[in-house]
Amino acid sequence: MSTISIRQAALSDIEALSVLFDGYRQFYGRDSDVVAARKFLVERFNHGESVLFIAHDGAEPVGFTQLYPSFSSVSLGRIYILNDLFVNELGRRKGVGAGLLSAAVDFAKEVGAIRLALSTANDNATAQALYESKGWERDDDLFYIYPIR
């Protein structure tokens, strides 16, 4: 029987988060580089540039989500961007993704954010199904995205 727990991550979680973050990057086609993943996450912690939540199944780390703070000039308020959400094979089909989403929403509400936004790859149907099952609605009308690569 699995016991899923989700909490805001601390710097002491960096080793577990680095492995999960590396798995996330590999999911999106990047080569494995746990050292670079760790360095990236430590920099976010050290500069207060993101908020991370970690999920465990018992003692085993199985997922994370990362939120980046930003602001809305038009609405004059803080927003968060849910940029990363990942659940490894051990944590899938156990409600971990939904739990991480709930933790992110609860956090945003607690700190008075006016919006929490996320995006996912066009072909990530599994993630899209999760988001929509939790009441998130896809917005195809308000903005066009123009990335410079």
Please report the pLDDT score of residue 145 as a whole number. Answer: 75
Average pLDDT over residues 46-53: 96
Please report the pLDDT score of residue 37 as a whole number. Answer: 98
* 3 state DSSP class of 95: coil
Q: List, for residues 17-39, the tens digit of each pLDDT value.
A: 999 999 999 999 999 999 999 99
Q: CA nearest 41: which of 61, 24, 60? A: 24
Please report the pLDDT score of residue 149 as a whole number. Answer: 81
Please report the pLDDT score of residue 1 as a whole number. Answer: 62
Q: List, for residues 72-108, the tens digit of each pLDDT value.
A: 999 999 999 999 999 999 999 999 999 999 999 999 9
Please report the pLDDT score of residue 110 as a whole number. Answer: 97
Average pLDDT over residues 64-72: 96
Residue 5 has pLDDT above 80, yes or no: yes
Beta bridge partners of 64: 54, 86
Contacts 24+ apart (CB under 8 A), 4-7: 4/55, 4/56, 4/57, 4/62, 4/91, 4/94, 4/95, 4/96, 4/99, 5/55, 5/56, 6/53, 6/54, 6/55, 6/56, 6/96, 6/99, 6/100, 6/102, 6/103, 7/53, 7/54, 7/103
Residues 6+ apart with CB under 8 A from 99: 4, 6, 55
Please report the pLDDT score of residue 146 as a whole number. Answer: 81
Amino acid in position 30:
R
Taking the model in full, what pTM does it have? Answer: 0.90
Could you tell me the two tokens for 3?
A: 């016991």
Chain mean pLDDT for the chain:
93
* 3 state DSSP class of 18: helix
* 3 state DSSP class of 54: strand
Taking the mean position of all CA atoms in its chain, how far away is CA 14?
Answer: 15
